[in-house]
Amino acid sequence: MGFWIFMLCMVLMIPVIMIVFGWIFMKKAPGKVNWVFGYKTKRSMTNEDTWAFAHKYIGRLWWICGLVLLPLSVIPMLLLSGKDKDMVGNVGAFITMVQMIPLVGTIFPTERALKKNFDENGWPR
């Protein structure tokens, strides 16, 4: 049971982080453009406008994806309660790998939205 609880916590990390940081990014971009914290791509770091736009955009995507992933992650883990460690570990690892798809996949629509709304110098279109 201890391993199942551990794996449940691990499986919940990505959706919870996406929900929390999605909410934070939707409400306010992290300070000034920096290399330490935030959504850092060449296009998002062009200026303060692109920085704020990118964070608001990806924040909304992360928040929605996190809310969808949360129950989709919990339900299979609840079904595994009391099962052997190998099955719990394998399913938990699979769920975590699937969660990485929307986590990383949100980069593409965010960059596309930046390109659509700003030119290469960061000026609004």
Query: Contact, 29 vs 56, CB < 8 A?
Result: yes
The answer to whether residue 35 scores a pLDDT higher than 90 is no
Helix axes 107-117, 48-79, angle to 10 degrees: 160
What pLDDT is recorded for position 103?
95
User: Per residue in 80-103, pLDDT tens?
Assistant: 988 899 999 999 999 999 999 999
Q: Hey, where are the domains in the chain?
A: 2-29+40-117
Q: Check the CA dihedral 77-80-82-86 and report its sign.
A: negative
What pLDDT is recorded for position 82?
86
The answer to whether residue 106 scores a pLDDT higher than 90 is yes
Average of pLDDT values for 10-30?
94
* The model's pTM: 0.89
Identity at 115, one-letter amino acid code: K
Q: Per-residue DSSP letters for 93-107?
A: HHHHHHHHHHHHHTH
